[in-house]
Structure 1
Amino acid sequence: MSSATSVRAVNRWASRIIPAILASCIGFATYVVSKRICVNYYLRYRDRPGTAIPLLVLLFASLLLVICTYTRLILVIVYDPGLVPREQTAAPVKESGRSNVRQRQDDIEAQRYDGGRDNDPNSPGLERFYSKDVFVCENDGLPRWCSSCRIWKPDRVHHSSEIDRCVRKMDHYCPWVGGIISENSFKFFVQFVTYTTAFCIVCLVASVLCFRDRTRNQLPIDGFVIAVIALASFFGLFTFGMTTLSIRYIFLNLTNVEDLRQKSTVHQLAIRVPLDTEPGPQYYLLSYPLPEPALGLKNQPSSSGETAANARDSLASRTFAVVKTQLGENPWNLGPYRNWVSVMGTNILDWVLPIRHSPCVAAETNTSFYEMGPLYDELRTRYSLPSLSVEVREAVTEMGAVR
């Protein structure tokens, strides 16, 4: 069973049944268009190979792409759904009254987690944030905390109540493909709905042409053709809407979850500044690593080795200014083309073939979890934050001297 399985029994069953229904509809449409329309009607009865052959080529070309993208999508959803590892030592608690899902006591993947934020200054995973130059934070400058998974949430991570897990760049839970659509699978999902739209268009065109030709020649109406017209129209409109919506998300560098909240969202960012930066009227400062609780050891003498270690620790210290974006601003908007490339790939083959993952899957750097757009530099200017270049050079020189 996939680690991204829904915690709701109804949705689990829907995720198993709906793909089978979808496959049945595609198989039925392929049979009607290829056998009854192209072969039986246009080739044998009407002797019009010029109509039948192009339709067959388009039909099976689009069908092959649908099958390839759907298979790739399912494999990613099952084996690499884009979940953030959660704290395995967190204590499981009983399901709240908001859900009647029965939890198995011996199944850690099916149990809920709860609890307050980890207040340990050396909390596992915290260093992953302050080793960067910018990250999304709360009002106190600490990263966002997920009390269910008991982890510090990286940028653009959303906790899905559907599967009770934190997901990287979660878009939505899709019963049509049986799982969660995230940064790992979004590219393949877009390709799948695009090629399914193309398949539906081919089926619709072939069926309408056959229906019109039979009507003009006063031939009996084939009920199978009518059924394909209905199916192709329904699924075609649905997948076309999903395609256009998904492409819009790509060009804006948003997910479905982010888009729903964008107009009412103000992002809070911790931006690294030089250690000697003074607090400003529009922001406050926070230094990492967080201070340890007083241990009463200040008056004890230290050896030269401890002095060197303390010097190295001081060089690891970083100061961050906590600032806010304006309402609706998107820190990760790189511009339409770069947004597109970050999801779909760097060349046309990546755009059309479901082979390689999106470049954004491996986008984490020492600067940020995801590449920041022009807004990052604009915020530095807006809040008059000093540059890091001088401090970084001095830190490298001092670190070499300490060693």
Structure 2
Amino acid sequence: MGPAHSVNSTVRAMAVIIPSFLALSVGYALYAVTDYTLMHRYYREYDMASQAVGLTVIYSVIAALMLVTYIRLLCTIYTNPGVVPLGPKYARDFYENNMVKQRKGNAHDAQRSLCEEIRAGFGKPPSAGMKKGDAAKSKTPESNGEHVDLESGLADSVPYGGVGSQTPAGPDPRLDPNSPGLEHSYTKDVFECTADGRPVWCMPCGTWKPDRAHHCSEINRCVYKMDHYCPWVGGIVSETTFKYFLQFTLYATIFCGLTIGTTGNALWQSRQRHGGTDTRVIVALALGSVLGLFSFSMFATCLNFVLQNLTTVESHQLKNRVRMMAVRIKLNADPVPGSYNTITYPLSVNGSPPPPQYGAVQIPALPAKTVGSDATTATREATGTFAPESENVEVPDPFQVNRNARAARRRATQTALDAFDAFDARDLLAHRTFAIVPVPKGMNVWDLGWRGNWISVMGTNVFDWLLPIRGSPCSDHTSTESRYSLSPAFQQYCAKMNLPSVHEMEERHRG
């Protein structure tokens, strides 16, 4: 994974100039504090040798930690910025060929209004959330199923083939049941989705967004757990770099605080002893104050987000965005009208066999057995008697009939079992049903409590907290439950909805 550069040439230039300015500022502060202020002023002129040596050691250690975390941050930004892989080229070309050229006026307002009505009518019949006139308008050639907007729950996107966009020149890649990358979401037990049960689709990247991913317009890529684009560090701050960014701002704040305290005291000593000032000390004090204020504000903001398990983007969306979560439930469980809908993966394809059903095998009924000729059977049915009309009719042995019936039943059962076993264990597990659960506004489904949130980002021991050695534990997405750990509040919310437990299906399948 290479570096993610800004698409704006001005921002790219600032991403080079600002880090260079920071390096020069830190270099000048090191000279002004350690060499000039501590050694020249404190040690020689003011006869404060012990204070000078002690402050020099502390100042050097903090400067070294700040430098190491900054280098680690820059290296990670350029080698592993945390961007989501792009989708297939045909999906990206579809977006490029059908890019919206008009995003103003009534077209965008009409689309936003329609999306709000879809939200308001979620869980109701299709006509419940619309007015009478809107229902007629919805039956347009653009919404007949050929070019359906799968992000209808997001008002900030214009659908392909919808109001305000050009007519698509090819099949919509979002409607492909075998769309590459879709399995990365439904193989988890819980994932973020839209109102139709599919993951969120990113049109520019041509791929399905993973949980907590956000499309950064600055680099034109989706980013895992994106926080912000920071020209001060020359790149994107995401789940792979957030920990190092917090450590860097911490050491930068301490470094600037030591600079302010040391130079401020030296300036006061100079005025008391000589009644004058020193330009070099004043410049170092000014730089420490400006950079210290910036670094402290960034550290306080990042620390607050860590303790809440939020990002800058999520903090703006938490109170206003309608979030939907797909929660795995019992296979083929019926939806609950008014509460949630369901969707089963893999998505069906025309002509494909239905997904396997768990439970008892359905055995076909045996054909009726006849005794004697057809005419004799018809006469018996009409008269209600089964006595033979003549002695020449041979009546089969009733025990032989029963044996034949049992053999036929065994053959039918074995045929059904063979068809059922055609789906191996992997195929059975691949079919999953999800409840589309609307999350109340303001609920953070990733909030694990301040302790769990801290561990998910910073690690489990003090060395992980202070040293930029290992990445954040939240960067590990191997769990089958979800990409990120779910909050107890969301789990309790799902329990109150009485979702059909998936464990019942699994236990029955094992039995």
Residue 391 of structure 1: aligned partner: 505
Partners of 1:73 and 1:242 in 2: how far apart?
15
Residue 43 of structure 2: aligned partner: 43
User: Higher mean Cα deviation, 273-282 or 41-50?
Assistant: 273-282
Residue 62 of structure 2: aligned partner: 62
User: Higher mean Cα deviation, 235-244 or 53-62?
Assistant: 53-62
Going from structure 1 to structure 2, the CA distance change for 1:276 and 1:97 (only over 3 Å counts) comes to closer
Partners of 2:504 and 2:190 in 1: how far apart?
17
Letter in 1 for 2:256: C
Going from structure 1 to structure 2, the CA distance change for 1:214 and 1:277 (only over 3 Å counts) comes to same
For normalisation by structure 1, the TM-score amounts to: 0.88
Letter in 2 for 1:394: R
Partners of 2:100 and 2:467 in 1: how far apart?
44
User: Higher mean Cα deviation, 323-332 or 286-295?
Assistant: 286-295
For normalisation by structure 2, the TM-score amounts to: 0.70
Work out which of the residue numbers 346, 352, 358 in structure 2 matches 1:289.
346
Given that 2:193 and 2:326 are in contact with CA atoms closer than 8 Å, whether structure 1 keeps it comes out as yes
Work out which of the residue numbers 148, 172, 182 in structure 1 matches 2:228.
172
Work out which of the residue numbers 316, 319, 322 in structure 1 matches 2:430.
316
Gaps of 5+ in 1: 99-113, 398-403
Once the two structures are superposed, the pairs formed by residues 228-247 of structure 1 within 5 Å of their partners are: 228-247=284-303
Work out which of the residue numbers 146, 155, 158 in structure 1 matches 2:214.
158
Residue 346 of structure 1: aligned partner: 460
Going from structure 1 to structure 2, the CA distance change for 1:119 and 1:97 (only over 3 Å counts) comes to closer
Given that 1:342 and 1:359 are in contact with CA atoms closer than 8 Å, whether structure 2 keeps it comes out as yes
Letter in 2 for 1:346: T
Task: Give the C-alpha shift of residue 314 in structure 1.
Answer: 4.6
Given that 2:188 and 2:481 are in contact with CA atoms closer than 8 Å, whether structure 1 keeps it comes out as yes
Given that 2:332 and 2:344 are in contact with CA atoms closer than 8 Å, whether structure 1 keeps it comes out as no
Once the two structures are superposed, the pairs formed by residues 3-402 of structure 1 within 5 Å of their partners are: 3-90=3-90, 91-92=92-93, 93=96, 116-281=172-337, 282-294=339-351, 308-310=421-423, 312=425, 313-397=427-511
Residue 108 of structure 1: aligned partner: none
Given that 1:266 and 1:329 are in contact with CA atoms closer than 8 Å, whether structure 2 keeps it comes out as no
Aligned pairs, number: 378
Given that 1:270 and 1:322 are in contact with CA atoms closer than 8 Å, whether structure 2 keeps it comes out as yes
Gaps of 5+ in 2: 103-159, 161-167, 355-414
Letter in 2 for 1:202: L
Task: Give the C-alpha shift of residue 128 in structure 1.
Answer: 1.8
Task: Give the C-alpha shift of residue 392 in structure 1.
Answer: 1.6
Given that 1:214 and 1:221 are in contact with CA atoms closer than 8 Å, whether structure 2 keeps it comes out as yes
Task: Give the C-alpha shift of residue 176 in structure 1.
Answer: 0.6
Letter in 2 for 1:49: A
Q: Percent identity?
A: 40
CA RMSD of aligned residues (A): 2.3
Letter in 2 for 1:72: R
User: Higher mean Cα deviation, 233-242 or 50-59?
Assistant: 50-59
Given that 1:363 and 1:371 are in contact with CA atoms closer than 8 Å, whether structure 2 keeps it comes out as no
Given that 1:364 and 1:371 are in contact with CA atoms closer than 8 Å, whether structure 2 keeps it comes out as no
Partners of 2:485 and 2:352 in 1: how far apart?
40
Going from structure 1 to structure 2, the CA distance change for 1:315 and 1:188 (only over 3 Å counts) comes to closer
Partners of 1:13 and 1:303 in 2: how far apart?
68
Going from structure 1 to structure 2, the CA distance change for 1:226 and 1:2 (only over 3 Å counts) comes to farther
Secondary structure in structure 1 of the residue aligned to 2:342:
strand
Secondary structure in structure 1 of the residue aligned to 2:436:
strand
